Amino acid sequence: GENVEQHPSTLSVQEGDSAVIKCTYSDSASNYFPWYKQELGKRPQLIIDIRSNVGEKKDQRIAVTLNKTAKHFSLHITETQPEDSAVYFCAASYGGSARQLTFGSGTQLTVLP
């Protein structure tokens, strides 16, 4: 089955700086890579996703890049704000039509004012 590794486990940045979270996956058949944000005690919420036919996707201050050859993908947050503080999870889907997600272990991002 798929295995997703995520780094770092914790990340602290100053407000206004950029944050980068990296994930690697094992199954070369994976073709869908979402990122979820989970605030304390709340549900995971999709913030951005990318498919394997695209190398980069951007949505305002958030961007995701995918390197299929190296089997890794990254989340980039620019101009960080205190409300970006949360746990971020990457995931990869495998299983063909079943679309089952395997999640990374999460990154606790803290944006310091």
Partner 1 sequence: EAGVAQSPRYKIIEKRQSVAFWCNPISGHATLYWYQQILGQGPKLLIQFQNNGVVDDSQLPKDRFSAERLKGVDSTLKIQPAKLEDSAVYLCASSPQQETQYFGPGTRLLVL
Residues lying near partner 1 in the complex (CB under 8 A) are found at 4, 6, 34, 36, 42-46, 49, 89, 91, 95, 97-106
Query: What's the rounded Cα separation, in Å, for the pair 1 and 91?
Result: 13
Least distance between partner 1 and beta carbon 17 (Å)? 25
Nearer to partner 1, 78 or 108 (CB): 108
Least distance between partner 1 and beta carbon 51 (Å)? 10
Least distance between partner 1 and beta carbon 15 (Å)? 25
Nearer to partner 1, 26 or 78 (CB): 26
Which pair of tokens denotes residue 90? 């990457």
Least distance between partner 1 and beta carbon 100 (Å)? 6
- Contact in structure between 79 and 62 (CB atoms under 8 Å): no
Query: What's the rounded Cα separation, in Å, for the pair 32 and 54?
Result: 10
Strands 4-7, 10-14: pairing kind: unpaired
Nearer to partner 1, 34 or 109 (CB): 34
Nearer to partner 1, 45 or 67 (CB): 45
* C-alpha dihedral, 20 to 24 to 29 to 30, nearest 10°: -40
